[in-house]
Amino acid sequence: MDLITSRPELIAEYIINNNCTIRQASKVFNLSKSTVHLDVSKRLKYINKTKYLLVRVILDKNLKERNIRGGMSTKLKYQNLKQAK
């Protein structure tokens, strides 16, 4: 197996096992978010359809929760600023 076919499967395994986001996976594999997204959303579909469908469920869930995570992040940011004063 070459890198183009093995890397998407490795990333997919990580996302499935850790239920993580694309951003978290990109940090672990030291790749850009764009590369990770391309691997798991485009390439993986043709390499391993089963893993693709499992990853798709996680990515769809993350997409729905995105605004909640952003709101929590902003809330924590301003709480920390307030405590620092």
pLDDT digits (tens, 9 = 90+) for 31-56: 999 999 999 999 999 999 999 999 99
DSSP3 helix / strand / coil % (the chain, rounded to 5): 90, 0, 10
**Category of 19 on φ-ψ map: left (φ > 0), alpha (ψ -120 to 50) or beta:** left
Q: Which pLDDT score, from 0 to 100, does residue 68 have?
A: 77
Q: How far is CA 12 from CA 21, 24, 30, 41, 57, in A?
A: 11, 12, 15, 10, 12
Range of the domain at 58: 3-84
How many domains, the chain?
Answer: 1
Both structure tokens of 77: 């940011």
Residue 1's pLDDT band (cuts 50, 70, 90): low
